[in-house]
Amino acid sequence: MPRPRRIAILGAGAWGTALALQAARAGNAVALWTRDAARAAAITEAGENTRYLPGQPLPPAITVTTEAGAALEGAAFALVVVPIQHLRGVVAGLPPGGCPLVVCAKGVERGTLCLPLEILAQLRPQAHAAVLSGPNFAHEVAAGLPAAAVVASRDGALRGLAADLLGTSGFRLYGGDDPMGVQVGGAAKNVIAIAAGAVIGAGLGENARAALVTRGLAELSRLAVALGGRAETAAGLSGLGDLLLTTTGPGSRNTSLGMALARGTSLQDVLASRAGVTEGVETAPALVARAAAAGVELPVCAAVADLLAGKLTIETAIGRLLARPRRDE
């Protein structure tokens, strides 16, 4: 029998909508779920997600719903595309049983210090699960511009199914068997991007940004290995690839936040002006705490966490990094 060609997307933000468009482009029927009835009605009426992806019409293959059970029924798998701090609540509210889950959240949960698949393992220990990550801006994927990502799971059949049903010639999906390394890359890159934006916003130049991003990549790699991942994953799409995009692309919310902070805008004012979530803000202290528990030092990420908490100014944060003892690379 042919495999089902139906995919559920849980979360109707920019990235969830972009993935819905990509799933439809790949030939699937798509159920796009949001728990916000007003948003569902607005998207259906406008034929596009005017709040998060204006100008990208949704094809007839995409149906918007507020019923999670209806979205999941008959789906080959569900892409869970909600911010990490809301992931637990969304997954806990899903009906029992159901299809495999592919998490598209990046970050570390406050309080528990859990990564995305660790949250799923607590709530759905029997579920087949994977994580999708990589250097992807939602508006570019929505427009069909070339992109690549990785689907990582210990379940080879699931990562193969996800790549087969979601991938196209313009959206290349690679499989990966190091979900821990992929998750650490997705979490750390947002924090490092805030630091990179602060360096540029403070007028310290491209040399400084390149040095900071390189040292941030080393931090990312050390933490991935300490948590059971592989160092080489840090050099792939979910590590170096995502880090390059997020620290240099003008559309990066995390980089632009760092730039704004360095130019004197308060954190509260930056966040209040945005519709989307800037994941690095909540992830920074949680990531540093998770690393400390594993005995790993993250100087760049720790400086970002202190900057966001108001414990450091941009100048003192940079000064602290530059004052670290010299050693061989």
Distance CA 286, CA 282 (A): 7
Give the pair of three-digit tokens for residue 156. 């080879």
| Tally of residues, the chain | 329
Count of CB atoms situated within 10 Å of the CB of 89: 10
Q: Is the dihedral of CA 75, 106, 208, 215 positive or negative?
A: negative
Which of 139, 189, 222, 253 does the annotation list as catalytic?
189
The answer to whether 189 is a known catalytic residue is yes
Distance CA 235, CA 239 (A): 6
Residues 6 or more apart from 37 whose CB is under 8 A from it?
66
Classify 110 as helix, strand or coil: coil
Strand boundaries in the chain, DSSP class E: 6-10, 29-33, 62-65, 77-80, 101-103, 129-133, 147-152, 171-176
Q: Which of 83, 143, 88 is nearest to 276 (CA)?
A: 83
User: Which residues are known to be catalytic?
Assistant: 189
